[in-house]
Amino acid sequence: MKTVQVDVAVVGAGTAGLAAFYAARKAGAGAVIIEGGEYGTTCARVGCMPSKLLIAAAEAAHAVGRAAGFGVHANGGFRIDGHAVMDRVRRERDRFVSFVLRDVEDIPDAECIRGQASFVDNHTLVVADHTRVTSKAIVIATGSRAAYPESFKSLGDCLITSDDVFDWYDLPKAVAVIGPGIIGLELGQALHRLGVRVAVLGRGGRVGPISDPEIRAYACATLNEEFTLAPDAHVADMHRYGDRVAIRRAGPQGAELMEYFDYVLAATGRTPNVADIGLHRTTLELDAKGVPVFDPFTTRTVSADGASPIFIAGDAGNFIPLLHEATDEGRIAGQNAARLALGSEARPGLRRARIGVVFTDPQIGIVGGGLRALKPGTFATGQVSFEDQGRSRILLRNKGLLNLYGDLASGKFLGAEMLAPAAEHLSHLLAWALQNGMTVAQMLEMPLYHPVIEEGLRTGLRDLDVKLRAAQGEVGKAA
Amino acid sequence: MKTVQVDVAVVGAGTAGLAAFYAARKAGAGAVIIEGGEYGTTCARVGCMPSKLLIAAAEAAHAVGRAAGFGVHANGGFRIDGHAVMDRVRRERDRFVSFVLRDVEDIPDAECIRGQASFVDNHTLVVADHTRVTSKAIVIATGSRAAYPESFKSLGDCLITSDDVFDWYDLPKAVAVIGPGIIGLELGQALHRLGVRVAVLGRGGRVGPISDPEIRAYACATLNEEFTLAPDAHVADMHRYGDRVAIRRAGPQGAELMEYFDYVLAATGRTPNVADIGLHRTTLELDAKGVPVFDPFTTRTVSADGASPIFIAGDAGNFIPLLHEATDEGRIAGQNAARLALGSEARPGLRRARIGVVFTDPQIGIVGGGLRALKPGTFATGQVSFEDQGRSRILLRNKGLLNLYGDLASGKFLGAEMLAPAAEHLSHLLAWALQNGMTVAQMLEMPLYHPVIEEGLRTGLRDLDVKLRAAQGEVGKAA
């Protein structure tokens, strides 16, 4: 067995791992990167990029149908060429993947080790029985994979995950999406708009990352106007029926619904890839899911016997499984691993104001962790509906509801949840304001052009401002 | 003649005038508002709103054509129903106007005076020979009107302005747009996308509000890929020819082009309505165009004989003729007029970071007054092209160029010019950063989701950051 001694070993060559590797090298450490699977990131292969490509096609189809409202008519209807749709998705996806591969190819061979890595102890990894790596510091960046209940396996080749969709050569006729999370909502609506019969079924009522019940109810009702979204579906039975899957579930007025689908798309979450890397041979503290406990500011894990030399970044850490957070975590982990290896101390890195976007239509936007991140009784809520918002109506996109949260004590903006047109853009404006520590009153001094969807923010911020001032007036009276 | 004595008289019931009137009343002053024309604002009647409605229809038509790139095909082509397009534009326009009219109707009759107002002196107006208004302070908010050279009048009823377009019941076949300013570019591209043969012709090379030559050249080339945009067209002759207009202009290789159009749309600018209101009977200082000189922070005019009791707001002042600025100016003018009338002093009001947006596709965005507002030698420029920007390419909207300006001395962000996808959204993010006094380094610490068009900003800001640091390094070395 070959032996390698190095300052920093990074396990996993995805988004977080590559960021960690580059950051460690830039900080002056000797580093290796270890990859047991295919090169290419989750984002480029099966995540952000191909899903946005499919959604772009879906929006194109939807725009053709919607054009009649403006006086523009497709003479003989329109036709969705499933082959062409999937061809563009795969072709552009491959292009994005090729950029990642090119980056990896630029890494000298001596610094890349191929094979599954497994911990021997806090400082030692064995890679596929061929290499033993001893390292002053280690970064775990093993990513995540789609996960589903064991019982789903009885569906055989009718069971797919988001990993499979982007390798299709044509569009199927009917798909049941199990799990109305981010992936389920995005793919469900996109497939529906591309002419696939879709039902998005969940359990417990969750709709994407929304935690505000007003926004959740509005989102559920709005998306349901377009396609079947049953976030609490009471599926009684799901079984293979010839080439298809039969799903029996509760229908209206005590009736039962039986529907048949070509595929069941399991969008039931992702699980961090930490079960098979020998963590039991380290001294790391693990949470209930077997994921190492870590400080999100340093990305350093917690060890039972003193300071840990192990860092974790990206989906493996199961903290905020989003590309831009994985990049930040990877960079912080790489920098701190290098510092440790070179005899200095780990330091907190930059964590930015949180943004979550779901690319449905209308989009879902969560700023600052949303309602669930706030302590009841400490904040006020301002609201705006986009149903009468000027520009949104001009664009025939006037569906949306936005709740904005402000701190009762300081008047500061705290975050937001929304289903809204252009939510991806509104969320950036709000997240930058949040990270800048702006008060609601200061935000109302910022410029807004006319007519723009952003003007809806003013309506909501004014509502919030009135409530914050009223609360501060009460405090004033009491004092 | 009836006589009225009042604290504040506002001349003009458009956007700025209504804002001034409400602000004066809210500040405790007695106020009247005087209107000589139709009620309803330029924005709602002939400006922002109907133009965005026409553009929304144009985008719908364009989206149908573009869908093929995603694998979505209109079976028998598509048909633009000009009647239906204009019907929606007029119907929705009337709805926006009705909101303004409802606001005006809510003002008590005693506070509304109908008729053309003319100054008698700094404190006195005569309205249409029926009412003499004496006022402690006066706000001029008479707006602007489309203006064109006298020679254009020979085109008779083939000559139109943007005021006329939104009353059409159908779309014409061919329109020459004279003047590639904001209105000319927006209407020109929209009409083109709605199947009208369009040529947008200018003189001197100006393209909208762009002052950065790199962005101007890119915008001109990009828009020209879609329709005829000749910002320096050398029109030799333009004359009536039967029911149409013949335009002769310089063509390629010394040739001459002769084209025929149903209409000439004069988009040759707007002129403030200040010529016929008796300003020569006041002591106000006027600029070369006859517009009262004023302080944009207080909106107070300058008088030859001491402190002026007259304020000016909105298009009449010819400062920044945009709705959101008119609202701000109106509010400041009304507040200050009330202060003066009630015995206190005028105070500077809130002026926000400047944003300009042209709703072409790609859109034009100008932040902070753009390049023309900067002093040569004091700033660096960072650049990003959107041609390879991830999300823009996914959406088939990867055309764009953005220049960002940063202060060499302080590292602060100064402004931007762009032709870019989603420029209206990017411009808001940048304008809020500008008003917050952020440095380029601080902006790079802000969150960006993935994949979003906003990620293009990071590329441009990094480029700018490198240049600013290099310049600061030079300064450091020199010191």
Task: Determine whether the interchain pair B72/A85 forms a contact, defined as Cβ–Cβ distance below 8 Å.
Answer: yes
> pLDDT at position B76, please?
83
Nearest CA in chain A to B423: A425
Considering the domain architecture, whether residues B324 and B441 belong to the same structural domain is answered as: no
Q: Which residue of B has its CA nearest to A425?
A: B425
How many angstroms away from the CA of B58 is the closest CA of chain A? 8
Q: Tell me: the pLDDT tens digits for A12-67? A: 999 999 999 999 999 999 999 999 999 999 999 999 999 999 999 999 999 999 99
| A346 assigned to some structural domain | no
Whole-number pLDDT of residue B478? 59
B365 Cα to chain A: minimum distance (Å): 11
Q: Which of A52, A63, A76 lies nearest to residue B75, judging by beta carbons? A: A76
Which residues in chain B touch residue A168, judged by CB atoms under 8 angstroms apart?
A: none
Q: Do B64 and A64 touch (CB under 8 A)?
A: yes
Å between B442 CA and nearest CA of chain A:
9
Q: Residue A71: which of B52, B81, B432 has the nearest Cβ?
A: B81
Query: Are the beta carbons of B432 and A446 separated by less than 8 Å?
Result: yes
What pLDDT does B424 receive? Answer: 98
A324 touching B (Cβ < 8 Å)? yes
Interatomic CA distance for residues B38 and B55, integer angstroms:
25
How confident is the model over A93-119, as a mean pLDDT? 96
Residue A75 is predicted with a pLDDT of 84
Tokens matching residue B426: 């990017």
d(CA A416, CA A214): 12
- The C-alpha of B246 sits at a distance from chain A's nearest C-alpha, in angstroms, of 30
Tokens of B407: 């202060």
Same domain assignment for residues A190 and A285: no
Among B395, B433, B447, whose Cβ lies nearest the Cβ of A431?
Answer: B447
Residue A21 host element (H or E):
helix A15-26
Q: Which amino acid is at A198?
A: V
Nearest to B324 among A49, A81, A447 (CB): A447
Residues A15 and A138 placed together within one structural domain of the fold: yes
Same domain, B138 and B6: yes
- Supply the pLDDT for residue A436: 98
| B349 part of a folded domain | no
- Boundary residue ending a domain (A238, A268, A298): A268
* Residues B257 and B189 reside in one and the same domain: yes
Q: List, in sequence order, the alpha helices (H) in A398-454.
A: 423-435, 440-443
B232-251, pLDDT tens digit by residue?
999 999 999 999 999 999 98
| pLDDT attached to residue B59 | 98
CATH of the domain at B218: 3.50.50.60
Please, which residues bridge with residue A301 across strands?
A294
Closest by alpha carbon to B359, among B432, B422, B267? B422
B57–A contact, CB cutoff 8 A: yes
pLDDT tens-digit series, residues B416-442: 999 999 999 999 999 999 999 999 999
Strand (E) or helix (H) holding A466:
helix A455-478
Residues of B in contact with A80 (CB under 8 A): 71-73
State which H helix or E strand residue A464 sits in. Answer: helix A455-478
- Residue A466 is predicted with a pLDDT of 98
pLDDT band, very low/low/confident/very high, at A476 (cuts 50, 70, 90): low
* A 15-54 residues with CB < 8 A to B: 43, 48-49, 52-53
Q: Is B138 on the interface with A (CB under 8 A)?
A: no
In a shared domain, residues A444 and A389:
yes
H-type alpha helices, B27-155: 42-45, 48-66, 82-105
**Residue A252: what pLDDT?**
85
Nearest to B71 among A66, A81, A350 (CB): A81
| Separation of alpha carbons B296 and B319, rounded Å | 8
**Which candidate, A371, A399, A401, A366, places its Cα nearest to that of A383?**
A401
Q: Is residue B347 part of a domain?
A: no
ipTM above threshold 0.90: yes
Rounded to the nearest angstrom, the minimum Cα separation between A211 and chain B is 20
Residue-number span of the structural domain to which A138 is assigned: 2-146+271-341
Q: Chain B within 8 Å of A323 (Cβ-Cβ)?
A: yes
Tell me the chain B residues in contact with residue A361 when contact means C-beta distances shorter than 8 Å. Answer: none
- Cα–Cα separations (whole angstroms), residue A72 to A124, B85, B412, B431: 65, 8, 46, 35
Token output for A6: 């190095």
User: A436 and B436 in contact by Cβ < 8 A?
Assistant: yes
Burial of A433 (0-12, 13-18, 19+ CB in 10 A): buried
In-domain check, residue A350: no
* Count of beta carbons in the 10 Å neighbourhood of residue B104: 17
Q: Kindly state the tokens that stand for B151.
A: 């020679």
Q: Identify the CATH number of the domain in which residue B437 sits.
A: 3.30.390.30
Residue B89 CA to residue B51 CA, distance in Å, equals 8
Cβ A444 vs Cβ A382: under 8 Å: no
pLDDT above 70: percentage of residues in chain A: 99
Q: Do B88 and A76 touch (CB under 8 A)?
A: no
CA distance A128 to chain B (A): 34
Q: Do residue A63 and residue B61 have CB atoms under 8 angstroms apart?
A: no
Q: Give the Cα separation of B339 and B348 in Å (integer).
A: 12
pLDDT in tens, A395-454: 999 999 999 999 999 999 999 999 999 999 999 999 999 999 999 999 999 999 999 999
Q: Do the chains contact at A92 and B394, CB–CB below 8 Å?
A: yes
Q: Which residues of chain B does A355 touch, with a Cβ-Cβ cutoff of 8 Å?
A: 447, 449
Contacts of A352 in chain B (CB under 8 A): 445-447
Same domain, A128 and A156: no
Number of domains in chain A: 3
Q: Inform me whether the C-beta atom of residue B446 falls under 8 Å from chain A C-beta atoms.
A: yes
Same domain (yes/no): B244, B373: no
**What is the interface size between A and B, counted as CB pairs within 8 Å?**
226
Three-class secondary structure assignment of B342-377: CCCCCCCCCCCCCEEEECCCCEEEEECCCHHHCCCC
Residues A125, A16 share a domain: yes
- Can you give the pLDDT at residue B476? 61
Residue A95 confidence class, pLDDT cut points 50, 70, 90: very high
* pLDDT tens per residue across all 479 residues of chain B: 999 999 999 999 999 999 999 999 999 999 999 999 999 999 999 999 999 999 999 999 999 999 999 999 988 889 999 999 999 999 999 999 999 999 999 999 999 999 999 999 999 999 999 999 999 999 999 999 999 999 999 999 999 999 999 999 999 999 999 999 999 999 999 999 999 999 999 999 999 999 999 999 999 999 999 999 999 999 999 999 999 999 999 988 889 999 999 999 999 999 999 999 999 999 999 999 999 999 999 999 999 988 999 999 999 999 999 999 999 999 999 999 999 999 999 999 999 999 999 999 999 999 999 999 999 999 999 999 999 999 999 999 999 999 999 999 999 999 999 999 999 999 999 999 999 999 999 999 999 999 999 999 999 999 999 999 999 887 666 55
* The pLDDT of residue A473 is above 90: no
Give the C-alpha distances (Å, rounded to integers) separating A456 from A164, A213, A370, A423: 39, 20, 18, 11
A454 interfacial to chain B (CB closer than 8 Å): yes
Classify residue A456: in a domain, yes or no.
yes
Which of B239, B268, B297 represents a domain boundary (last residue)?
A: B268
Is residue A347 one of the residues assigned to a domain? Answer: no
Set of chain B residues whose Cβ sits within 8 Å of the Cβ of A186: none
Q: Are residue B173 and residue B288 in the same domain, yes or no?
A: no
User: How far out from the chain centre does Cα A225 lie?
Assistant: 24
Contacts of B183 (CB under 8 A, 6+ apart): B51, B162, B267
Residues of B in contact with A322 (CB under 8 A): 449-450
Distances in whole angstroms, Cα of residue A342 to Cα of each of A24, A30, B346: 10, 10, 63
Domain boundary among B209, B243, B268: B268
The interface residues of chain B toward chain A in range 62-91, judged by CB-CB distance below 8 A, are: 63-64, 66-67, 69-88
Closest residue of A to B327, CA-based? A450
Q: How many CA atoms lie within 13 A of B425 on its CB side?
A: 20
Residues A380 and A325 reside in one and the same domain: no
Note whether residue B327 is domain-resident: yes
> Are residues A192 and A311 both part of a single domain?
no
CA distance B120 to chain A (A): 36
pLDDT-derived band of residue A76, with 50, 70 and 90 as boundaries? confident
Name the A residues in 382-401 with CB < 8 Å from any B CB: 390-391, 393-396
Q: Is A99 on the interface with B (CB under 8 A)?
A: no
> Regarding beta strands B131-140 and A131-140, do their DSSP bridges make them parallel or antiparallel, or are they unpaired?
unpaired
pLDDT one-digit tens code per residue, A139-188: 999 999 999 999 999 999 999 999 999 999 999 999 999 999 999 999 99
Q: Please report whether residue A468 resides in a domain.
A: yes
User: Cα distance from A32 to chain B (closest Cα, Å)?
Assistant: 27
- Using a CB-CB cut-off of 8 Å, the residues of chain A touching B450 are 43, 48, 322-324
In this prediction, residue A479 has a pLDDT band, given cuts at 50, 70 and 90, of: low
Closest CA of chain A from B348, distance in Å: 14
Write the DSSP assignment of B409-473 as a string of letters: TT-BEEEEEEEETTHHHHHHHHHHHHHTT-BHHHHTTS---TT-TTHHHHHHHHHHHHHHHHHHH
Q: Residue A23 is which amino acid? A: A
Residues of B in contact with A83 (CB under 8 A): 71
Predicted pLDDT at A461: 98
